[in-house]
Amino acid sequence: MILFQPNLEETDVVEATVSTVDTSISIFLWIAIIELLIILFLIWKLAKAANGSQRSDAIKQNLKNAKDSKVNMGDLMDSINGARDLYKELSRKCHPDLFINTDKQLIAQDLFQEISKNKRDYKKLTELKERAVLDLKVNFK
């Protein structure tokens, strides 16, 4: 019994070492698989970008113009807050039916179309209101 004791311990140690090596191999294997997946993903992205670069110059220019365009946020806020009421007022007072069989009927029709087209643009509606005062002699109080 005593003679076999050291051998048994050695066997345990060897087994322990082997199991450590197995774990490390499996970790490296997983790292390699993940790296491979990342490389494949990057290759796929490059291929996709190459396809995307074939897009026409006109579209790219269109996009660049959109990026560089200026938006007046003050006008946007005015439109959010005031366009609805102003549109209601204008559409009520400048309706073409109010000018039927008069010399202003055509002007009223044209103006009403413009009002309907710009119903959520406060700045344009304000301009149209001035036009209504001048051309149709509408009284806004």
* Residues at the contact surface with another protein, assessed by CB under 8 A: 52, 55, 59, 62-64, 66-67, 69, 71, 73-74, 76-84, 120-121
Tokens 């204008």 map to which residue? 90
Q: Minimum CB separation from another protein for residue 27, in Å?
A: 29
For residues 27 and 80, which CB has a smaller minimum distance to another protein in the complex? 80
Alpha helices in the chain (DSSP H): 5-52, 57-68, 73-93, 105-117, 122-131
Q: Which of 117, 123, 119 is nearest to 72 (CA)?
A: 123
Q: Minimum CB separation from another protein for residue 90, in Å?
A: 16
What is the C-alpha separation between 80 and 13, in angstroms, rounded?
77
What is the C-alpha separation between 23 and 29, in angstroms, rounded?
10
For residues 26 and 81, which CB has a smaller minimum distance to another protein in the complex? 81
Q: Minimum CB separation from another protein for residue 74, in Å?
A: 5
For residues 15 and 48, which CB has a smaller minimum distance to another protein in the complex? 48
